[in-house]
Amino acid sequence: MPSVCLYFQVHQPCRLRRYSFFDVGHVHDYEDEAENHRILDRVAQKCYLPANALLLKLIEEHSGKFRVAFSLSGVVLDQIERRRPDVLESFRRLAATGCVEFLNETDSHSLAFLFSPREFRAQVLLHRKRIRALFGQDGRTFRHTELIYSNDLAKAVDKLGYAVILAEGTEKILGRRSPNRAYRPAGCGKLKLLLRNYRLSDDVAFRFSEAAWSEHPLTAEKYAHWLHRIGGKEAVVNLFMDYETFGEHQWRETGIFEFLSALPGEILRHPDFFFQTPAEVAASHDPAGEIDCPGFISWADVERDMTAWLGNAMQQDAARSLYGLESAVRRRKDEGIFKTWRMLQTSDHFYYMCTKWFSDGDVHRYFNPFESPYEAYINYMNILDDLSQSLKQKKECIHDRDAQTLPL
């Protein structure tokens, strides 16, 4: 019987303050706290609180047959724990139903795997610990930043003991095969791979309110009918999207909450269909074959590769400069500096430097708080310059202190 796997990504980056060359060496506070608070409050009211309340209602109405999964980045958890305990409590109520799975990812929503295996592993273990403490779940499913995926990543995740990993169902790795199956990653023994059905997912996440779309308006009945046409005993339809789709990217006035409210009932009308979380899919579905992915893919843009974050010289320079500070940061053993360094790893900072202005340009401009990618790069590198100087000054202070204790 076909199952539906519905997964939501929850993430809000820490926005950086406008940081000029003249701030270097003088200002060591890099975050725009007022903007962080303003955006979190807006998204909490428009999305997190009403959507969580609706999901809780749907789980109760359908007696546990409706099941979903979330991945909350450590970055958004930091903000929610500090500023919006009501939002955190609403996620805890969902966890208490037993119908919601909480996934693991890199705590800083970072690109660490590409630059530092040590930092990648540390962030995954940190996020696993946080999810266990907050929601009482031991993570069985891993979702990497922006669904970035490769054979090497899968092998690293397999060694960490996860049962399943998520990725984009792009033709680059599928060829003519269907995304609506569970697979085995190349080179892995037990780990299973679930691939996002990007067409059906994007119908909701991006096209729902698009008046020029041939399928507009999209109703729950119509959408469920599309799913019901997918047959096969081992089929699993993976619908992965940003949680902010509901109320933030697609405003309440579009009817997105009415769509979500009606969707479980419409899908469950078909007697062969049911909902599962990623870990449940992994436990009940045998792999339909092996997926080989020697290079990196992601769910970003038409290319579905790494160019959204590392596609130009600015992005590559910024990333190399950031991770080039790792040894110095670790030697300092300063909790504040370490936390700042990890905050600067969040993938959004590199996304703002993207210079794509063709098929995906509007998307990048929509999510970019800077006037241009070049402004984002200069701002970020000024901050890195100040952080680097702080590390050097710290080192000099340590040397001075040590010198005072040495015998003449």
Residues classed as catalytic: 146
Rg (CA), the chain: 22
Burial of 290-306, coded b for 16+ CB within 10 Å and e otherwise, reads ebebeebbbbbbebbbb
Q: Which of 404, 349, 321, 272 lies closest to 11 in space, CA to CA?
A: 349
3-state secondary structure of 4: strand
CA 18 – CA 12 distance, rounded (Å): 18
Q: What is the dihedral of CA 238, 160, 88, 72, to 10 degrees?
A: -40
For residue 229, with 0-12 CB atoms within 10 Å meaning exposed, 13-18 middle and 19 or more buried, which class applies? Answer: exposed
Strand ranges in 233-359 using DSSP code E only, listed in sequence order: 236-242, 246-247, 250-251, 274-275, 290-291
Q: Identify which of 115, 109, 107, 110 has the alpha carbon closest to the alpha carbon of residue 316.
A: 115
CA of residue 296 relative to chain centroid, distance: 16
Task: Look at the block and give the residue holding tokens 């590769």.
Answer: 305
The CA distances from residue 85 to 58, 80, 104, 135, in Å, are 23, 6, 21, 14
Cβ proximity of 146 and 347 under 8 Å: yes
Using alpha carbons only, what angle is made at residue 278 by residues 273 and 283, rounded to the nearest 5 degrees? 85
H or E segment and range at residue 308: helix 307-310
Q: Please, what is the Cα angle at 69 between 340 and 38, to 5 degrees?
A: 45
The end-to-end CA distance of the chain, in Å, is 81
- In the beta sheet, which residues pair with residue 238? 5
